[in-house]
Chain A
Amino acid sequence: MKLRNAFIIAALALTGASAPDEHWTSYGRDASEQRFSPLDQINVDTVAQLGLAWRFDMRDGRGVEATPLEVDGVLYVTSAWSVVYALDATNGKPLWEFDPAVDRAVGARACCDAVNRGLAYRDGRIFVAALDGRLIAVDAKTGTQIWATQTLDGGNWPYVITGAPRVAGKLVLIGNSGADLGARGYVTAYDTDTGKLAWRFFTVPGNPANGPDHAASDLIMAKVAETWAGEWWKQGGGGTVWDSITYDAALGQVYIGVGNGSPWNRQVRSADKGDNWFLASIVALDARTGEYRWHYQATPGDTWDATATQSIILADATVAGKPRKVLMQAPKNGFFYVIDRRTGKLLSAGNIVPMARTADTPKGAPISWAYGIDIKTGRPLENPEARYPGNTRVMVHPTGMGAHSWQPMAYSPKTNFAFIPAQDYAATFQADPQYQPIPNARASGLMPGGGIPQDNALRSAIAKSVHAKLIAWDVAAQKAAWTLDYAFAGNGGVLATNGNLVFQSGADGIFRAINAVTGKLMWTFDAQATAMGGPITYRIGGTQYIAIAIGNGGAHWLAGGLSSPQRKALPTGRVLVFKLGGSLVYDRTDTAPDPVNPPEPVTSDKAVLGRGAEKYGVFCAACHGFGGISGQVLPDLRRSPVAGDA
């Protein structure tokens, strides 16, 4: 089903503070975060000659989620554990390396691997946020530290940082993660010169007994608290700003994408009441002061891990004949939103995965949390059963890993298409009436799941039901122009170029160039690992390059082994850079999973096996794979020689 208002959005044009054409100076190339490059030497006619120009191997083998930067001939990229590498962008020669020496024990409280999504740049300085919460300014020429500040002083929660900082004028902004384990979200702005704190904005109310936070959010917090009930502060409430932050120089605003609730289940979190501002929302803040301007809540009263931290892209649009500044987002909840940046008003919405009323859903199929959006109020039209009232047990979609997770989408003003790495994960929800927070375990408030039935046909059917695809979303029509289907979920972020190409790396390890208009596959390269972050492109000395940072890992690869190719991660992360006529030979690495040496059965007692599956689901699955099925990045316990005596 398709929904939109009467306006026609057309002729979207490039917007925002644009980087010079040939560079990639911030996470989404420029402040608009469109991930659209005006370069066109590599185009639909020439892409067949694209080949590997150089390669660089990182030191670590954990997940790589970085989008690299390219500034003045230097490529900057991060690996796991927040290590920064500076490389000559024409040949990969290492210039310097900055290792913030993160204590590896911090990785134990990271929900989703020790990953890092990238860097910010301003005035000869590179900004990196380390997993342990430090925001660090580094000299872009030498790699020496200029200042460092600990940002995780907003409460005693198991925070980590995996996101890329963003520059907004003279300030650098960063949020954090932790809402899956229990945390209270906030974003902080620091002076790029000195590292001094400029402002902080909490996304959810704290414990009223503690009084005001002395933060920019204080001004709105009384109103925010009215949308909460019960003792929401006990597990922090959630709302971490773990990925998207977009700076709008034209309006002097920043937009922050706010995450899910802690715990997930609203029945436990907020006595089953209230919209719970600003969970699952986009919030517009004054870029200089951090004061609230407006918000749009995509999923009021989130109870499904429906984060709205996904890419927030800015563009200028003509809506019903009038020029408008819009932003667009495809959050986890399965809808695509176009919002007026001045007012926060919803202009149009459409569903990127099939959404239906419960009555129209075949028996046994997952139900949609909502079947549409009321364009007047901006609120979702929910299926009430999806809130798993009472003791009900329901399978809901999309959720958790999203219809669209953090893997960045791109937008081409040329076609007016957004390119969305999409999938449609369902999950079973049933409230746990006895729920008590447990350290080191998911803050869900749900009954723990068990094992996955030992039936290979069923397992492959579940994996296929995720329907991973690249969607070229026609923004004006709010419907797909074309889609490219993938066999596995966990595909990477997207780059769009003026050469009428989009680039995306699949979970199968294959890097692809696709015709942006028709969806036709134009070129492939078997990289043997996925570029989870987005590819970038830049031009130096008349040559256009395409760069990816590869290395399997992150939430999907750790937890979602069932829908991943059973292939081991490469021994280290890598940077691969391509150009027309590139001819470097790419040697193959054996990525076959380790052999299984089946242990003697411990017991055949179904009750014990069931309890083991349940406890494994609560404590181990997020890293070692649901149902014991590993994504082959961290040890597959079924193949582990030491699991027997662990």
Chain B
Amino acid sequence: MVVKDGALLANGMPQFGAELPDDDVEAIRAFVADEARFIAATK
């Protein structure tokens, strides 16, 4: 939604198209989740 469909474009969050295929978005999501788990675990 946010990343591919430009749901927040009107707030200055870019819309990503062909340059970012779905599996890359999925990989980014995995990376972000991993970082979130890291900071939650080390607090």
In the bound complex, CA of A627 to CA of B11 (Å) = 23
- A615 and B27 contact, CB distance less than 8 A: yes
Contacts of A110 in B (CB 8 A): 12
Contacts A104-B10, A598-B41 given; does A619 touch B31 at CB 8 Å: no
Contacts of A642 in B (CB 8 A): 2
In the bound complex, CA of A596 to CA of B12 (Å) = 24
A209 interface residue (CB < 8 Å to B): no
- B27 and A612 contact, CB distance less than 8 A: yes
Interface band, chain A: 35 or more
B21–chain A nearest beta-carbon distance, Å: 10
Stretch at the interface among A249-257, A303-311, A327-335, A602-610: A602-610
- B9 and A108 contact, CB distance less than 8 A: yes
**Which B residues from 1 to 34 make CB contacts under 8 A with A?**
1-3, 9-16, 19-20, 24-34
In the bound complex, CA of A615 to CA of B3 (Å) = 13
In the bound complex, CA of A439 to CA of B32 (Å) = 22
- B40 and A598 contact, CB distance less than 8 A: yes
- B10 and A105 contact, CB distance less than 8 A: yes
Q: Which of B19, B34, B39 contacts A609 (CB 8 A)?
A: B34
Q: Which of A105, A451, A602, A627 contacts B12 (CB 8 A)?
A: A105
In the bound complex, CA of A638 to CA of B15 (Å) = 20
Contacts of A2 in B (CB 8 A): none
Contacts A599-B37, A646-B1 given; does A609 touch B10 at CB 8 Å: no
A320 interface residue (CB < 8 Å to B): no
- B33 and A108 contact, CB distance less than 8 A: no
A44 interface residue (CB < 8 Å to B): no
**Number of B interface residues in the complex (CB < 8 A):** 33
Contacts of A441 in B (CB 8 A): 19
- A105 and B9 contact, CB distance less than 8 A: yes
- A602 and B26 contact, CB distance less than 8 A: yes
- A108 and B15 contact, CB distance less than 8 A: yes
B23–chain A nearest beta-carbon distance, Å: 9
Contacts of B14 in A (CB 8 A): 108-109, 440
A225 interface residue (CB < 8 Å to B): no
- B3 and A646 contact, CB distance less than 8 A: yes
Contacts A104-B11, A456-B42 given; does A644 touch B35 at CB 8 Å: no
Contacts A598-B37, A645-B1 given; does A608 touch B27 at CB 8 Å: yes
A639 to chain B: closest residue by CB: B36
Contacts of A419 in B (CB 8 A): none
Contacts of B11 in A (CB 8 A): 104, 107
A103 to chain B: closest residue by CB: B10
B36–chain A nearest beta-carbon distance, Å: 4
| Subset of 27 A-B contacts with CB under 8 Å | A105-B9, A108-B9, A110-B12, A438-B19, A440-B16, A456-B42, A596-B40, A597-B40, A598-B37, A598-B40, A602-B26, A603-B30, A605-B30, A608-B26, A608-B30, A609-B34, A612-B26, A615-B24, A616-B28, A619-B19, A623-B13, A627-B35, A628-B35, A637-B36, A639-B36, A644-B33, A646-B1
- B positions within 8 Å CB-CB of A: 1-3, 9-16, 19-20, 24-43
- A positions within 8 Å CB-CB of B: 104-110, 114, 438-441, 451, 454, 456, 596-603, 605, 608-609, 611-613, 615-616, 619-620, 623, 627-629, 637-639, 642-646
